[in-house]
Structure 1
Amino acid sequence: MKRDAHIHSPFCPHGTKDSFELYIEKAILNGFTDISFTEHAPAPQGFIDTVPTRDSFLNPNMLEPYIGELQQLKKQYANDISIKIGLEVDFIEGFEKETTQLLNEIGHTLDDSILSVHFLLKDKKYSCIDFSPLSFNSFVQQFDSLENVYSLYYRTVQNSISSDLGPYKPKRIGHPTLIHKFQHHHNVIVDDHEMIMKTLELMKHNEYELDVNSAGLAKQFCLEPYPPHRYIQLAKDLGIPLVFGSDAHRAEDLHQFYKDVYTQ
């Protein structure tokens, strides 16, 4: 099976309008047998998007059309490729109950899903840590050190793994080193080896899959996959299931760096 299981769509508020068909036809052309569209889930009820563009989440009114269109395409392309309907669900500390409610409402309609951390809580305020270098630097200024930001990030990822979000909780952890996205912008190297290993060990203990996410290689201030290559191998050594995801937000980026990051 050749699989890309982290793909966004024309329904992504901060993506492109490239059609589902563009993604699907490219996947077939490149010999992929299995793809998952994992659009950003709607925000949990009551959460206010903190990015300036307010476009982090799928509009709840678009969830039904998103699923409906994919259901039709699953049938249309059934002889050529397996298409899974999924979502990338945000874990937001303090909104576990609301996230569980959301998953209970929509989980039965999904074939696949990812649990990711994009927002961190500091002094009762939420910040998106991957929006821009400037917004990330502004968030860092609230701390004594960059290492404390990293520590908060990994604690939040670890909490996402341990948290009870009900029977439809995703079983794959998305881009678990997303905190590295701007590492070449702030030019400070944080030794987060133990934090990453603790995260991987917790994933192993709780039987989670790892989103082997190639998108970081395309980010000018990251230049590595999420997680970095050595941790992909260490995860494999631990027996954690590896699932490749290009995290494509446009058809051009579909399957990006597949051969560079994915080892079976």
Structure 2
Amino acid sequence: MKDGHVHTSFCPHGTKDSLDDYIQRALQLGYTEITFAEHAPLPEGFIDPTPMKDSAMRYEDLESYFQSIEKAKGRYSGKIKINTGFEIDFIEGYEIQTANFLNEFGPRLDDAVLSVHFLKNPAGKYDCLDYSPDKFGEMVKEYGSAENIHQHYYQTVLKSIRTDLGPYKPKRIGHLTLANKFRLKYPVAQECTDEIIEILETVAKHGYELDYNGAGTAKPLCREPYPPDWVIREAKKLGIRLVYGSDAHQAKELGQGLDRMETKK
């Protein structure tokens, strides 16, 4: 069993659980493989719009991050396959900087996820889509409706798939339906079915994978995985590989939502 989306203590908005805490928990769950996909440093020149500026790890910590995972690989050799990875943010307008980062550090990665968290809003500034229910409510006012946010999110995800980010671009698309994180408080009258189907068709065309992200099941205003069951069924029709990811930011979150995936096999 692989968990392809796990965070670490290098994440400023996570916990101080050690790599050993995560790996020991993974072994308890019967994992055979784990990818530490920490939030890569944000592109050069991009200003984190969150209040604490804590969305991603710092550039200064990169070498320590790589070295820590290499040491863990040695400690657990023969017990579990450990992958050095990143969760890369696709940010509209920062494609060149992101490609440059991947060209520099991509050779050191075993695995990676490409995700959208930040949207360029109608005023030309950036919002963090999944920061908080209150922030999402402010975005609803800026965009005119929750539906408009969802549409813009899926348009941005589609751009992330189609954009050339160089030879080290991640081949797995992270939490495809993250726009649903606050769906129980900000429901949409109609889901962006056409946009999602177009994304799936594009993923299939490029031979990419999807992150089956269990974190949404634990979010009180979501209570479903990213993506939900109907999207999974459509993805499987297209032959798209789904890779489970807990998106754990603390060791105890490993395995969250996994039972939902197992029932869909």
TM-score (normalised: structure 2): 0.97
Asked if 2 retains the 8 angstrom alpha-carbon contact of 1:74 and 1:83, the reply is yes
Shift of 1:194: 1.4
* 1:150-172 C-alpha deviation (Å, 9 max, x unpaired): 11100000000000000100000
| Unmatched segments (≥5 aa) in structure 1 | none
Give the alignment's Cα RMSD to 1 decimal.
1.0
In structure 2, what residue type is equivalent to 1:232?
I
| Unmatched segments (≥5 aa) in structure 2 | none
2: CA distance between counterparts of 1:227 and 1:31? 24
Asked if 1 retains the 8 angstrom alpha-carbon contact of 2:12 and 2:56, the reply is yes
In structure 2, what residue type is equivalent to 1:173?
I
1: CA distance between counterparts of 2:40 and 2:220? 26
2: CA distance between counterparts of 1:209 and 1:191? 22
- Give the match's secondary structure for 1:15: coil
* 1:49-105 C-alpha deviation (Å, 9 max, x unpaired): 000111001100011101101001111101100000000000000000000011011
Shift of 1:257: 2.1
- Give the match's secondary structure for 1:202: helix
* 1:174-212 C-alpha deviation (Å, 9 max, x unpaired): 001000000111244432111211111110111110000
Asked if 1 retains the 8 angstrom alpha-carbon contact of 2:17 and 2:251, the reply is yes
In structure 2, what residue type is equivalent to 1:130?
D
Aligned pairs (5 A) from 1:244-263: 244-262=244-262, 263=264
Asked if residue 91 in structure 1 is aligned to residue 90 in structure 2, the reply is yes
In structure 2, the partner of 1:179 is: 179
Deviates more, 1:240-249 or 1:179-188: 179-188
Asked if 2 retains the 8 angstrom alpha-carbon contact of 1:183 and 1:189, the reply is no
- Give the match's secondary structure for 1:141: helix
> Which stretches of structure 1, 4 residues or more, deviate above 6 A after TM superposition?
none
2: CA distance between counterparts of 1:106 and 1:236? 32
In structure 2, the partner of 1:119 is: 118
1: CA distance between counterparts of 2:228 and 2:236? 13
In structure 2, the partner of 1:107 is: 106
- How many residues matched? 263
In structure 1, the partner of 2:59 is: 60
In structure 2, the partner of 1:204 is: 204
TM-score (normalised: structure 1): 0.97
Asked if 2 retains the 8 angstrom alpha-carbon contact of 1:89 and 1:114, the reply is yes
Asked if 1 retains the 8 angstrom alpha-carbon contact of 2:246 and 2:253, the reply is yes
Aligned pairs (5 A) from 1:11-160: 11-122=10-121, 123-160=123-160
In structure 2, what residue type is equivalent to 1:143?
Y
In structure 1, the partner of 2:231 is: 231
User: Identity over aligned residues, as a percent?
Assistant: 49
2: CA distance between counterparts of 1:231 and 1:28? 30
